[in-house]
Amino acid sequence: PRTLVKVRDLKMHFPIFAGLFRRRVGEVKAVDGVSFDIIEGETLGLVGESGCGKSTCGRAVLRLYDITSGSISIDGQEIGDAGYQKLRPMRPQMQMVFQDPQASLNPRMTVARIISEPLDEHTTLSKAEKQERVYELMDAVGLNRDFANRYPHEFSGGQRQRIGIARALALNPKFIVCDEPIAALDVSIQAQVVNLLEELQDKFNLTYLFISHDLSMVRHIADRVAVMYLGKVAELAPRDALYSKPLHPYTEALLSAVPEPDPNVETRRERIILRGDVPSPAHPPQGCNFSTRCPKVMDICHQSDPDMQEVEPGHFVACHLYPPTTKPTTKNMVASE
């Protein structure tokens, strides 16, 4: 298996300004040293509560921002420090499906124009070729070709998300960041859109970073899962390992609130209620960033920030409960070889 996306020590800090003279008074560490790999054709789920930095992380990986520091490589090309000129030819390969199809589609453009916009920008296809491509894409996402000249408001939420997906597919991308792609949809159609994303993944060999706060949905779609808390990855593991044997106290707490899908499983987890609120990313706690809320906090947790380490093959965790091993930490975020 080939690593398509490699992210190392990614930081996205936003300055905070205040006062009459807009003096810089601090910074929000929205993403604060995140590392992961994504293998070609897999889905990496990125989960966490709202405000943990997962969306910012997804956008930063696609370089929709100038990042603060770190390395991002897509298919062997380093784009962490790339400027507009270097990014432009890379854009077709890496796309995004947004949370709110309503907000991400121009209401004054027809479906055909929305889907062909990336073709206008990045290809030299003729008008007829573009039209054919639009029809192909509408077929692929299950939209009726007859609706090509309609406007977004004439569609349901699920259909609008299909338009967004068709647009993301227009340039044959390899890698798609799906940012809460179903969160704005009715529960009754969420599964349809998730199934469509899976179908398209198989058909076009797509690699996904699937961002969601919905742990049940991520369990369904992801091959591996990274759990984020306050700008950092707390734990990263193959899906089954993470859901059946979470190691990080934060993952344990998150999962304790998720209903067990298998009624035969007798050992129901007891619901873990975390004390306090998530601290502001402008003032993260000293040491481990979970130390203010962790039920298992120890003295050392207030003093030092635990490194990510590989506790079992492919199972990474950043927590002092797991004493340092000799294994490399972020050298290979899939599994040690």
Q: Which listed option, Mg ion, ligand SF4, none, makes contact with residue 334 (CB within 5 to 8 Å by class)? A: none
Shortest spacing between CB 309 and ligand SF4, in angstroms: 12
Buried b (16+ CB within 10 A) or exposed e, 171-188: bebbbbbbbbbbebbeee
Residue 288 binds which entry of Mg ion, ligand SF4, none, CB below 5-8 Å type-dependent: ligand SF4
- Identify which of residues 290 and 316 has a Cβ nearer to ligand SF4 in the complex: 290
The Cα–Cα gap between 51 and 114 comes to 30
Piece of 33-41, 184-192, 268-276, 313-321 that binds ligand SF4 (CB under 6 A): 313-321
The answer to whether the beta carbons of residues 281 and 51 sit under 8 Å apart is: yes
Residues between 41 and 70 that touch ligand SF4 (CB under 6 A): none
Looking at the Cβ atoms of 282 and 298, the one nearer to ligand SF4 is 298
Residue 253: contacted member of Mg ion, ligand SF4, none (CB under 5 to 8 Å, by partner type): none
Binding partner of residue 43 among Mg ion, ligand SF4, none, CB cut-off 5 to 8 Å per kind: Mg ion
List 6, 31, 43, 45, residue binding Mg ion (CB under 5 A): 43
In terms of Cβ atoms closer than 10 Å to its own Cβ (0-12, 13-18, 19+), residue 203 is exposed
320, 330, 333, 334: residue in contact with ligand SF4 (rule CB under 6 A): 320
User: Residue 319 binds which entry of ligand SF4, Mg ion, none, with Cβ cut-offs from 5 to 8 Å by kind?
Assistant: ligand SF4
Q: Beta 232-238 vs 309-312: how paired, if at all?
A: unpaired
What is the distance between the alpha carbons of residues 283 and 27, in angstroms, rounded to a whole number? 9
Q: Which does 301 bind (CB under 5 to 8 A by kind): ligand SF4, Mg ion, none?
A: ligand SF4
Nearest-5° Cα angle at 226, 222 to 229: 140
Q: Which is nearer to Mg ion, 60 or 222 (CB)?
A: 222
State both tokens at 303: 């003093």
Cβ proximity to ligand SF4, 136 vs 305, nearer residue: 305
**Residue with tokens 């993301």, as numbered in its chain:** 168
Q: Which letter, b or e, does each residue of 106-116 get, where b requires 16 or more Cβ atoms within 10 Å of its Cβ?
A: eeeebbbbbbb
Cα dist from 108 to 113, 133, 148, 175, whole Å: 10, 21, 13, 28
Which is nearest to 212 in space by CA: 255, 176, 254, 180? 180
Residue 320 binds: one of ligand SF4, Mg ion, none (C-beta under 5 to 8 A by kind): ligand SF4
Binding mask 258-297 for ligand SF4 (x = CB under 6 A): ------------------------------x-xx--x-xx
Nearer to ligand SF4, 47 or 169 (CB): 47
CA 330, 334, 335, 337 dihedral sign is negative
Site for ligand SF4, residues 203 to 262, rule: CB under 6 A: 248-249
Residues that bind ligand SF4 (CB under 6 A): 248-249, 288, 290-291, 294, 296-298, 301, 306, 319-321
Residues that bind Mg ion (CB under 5 A): 43
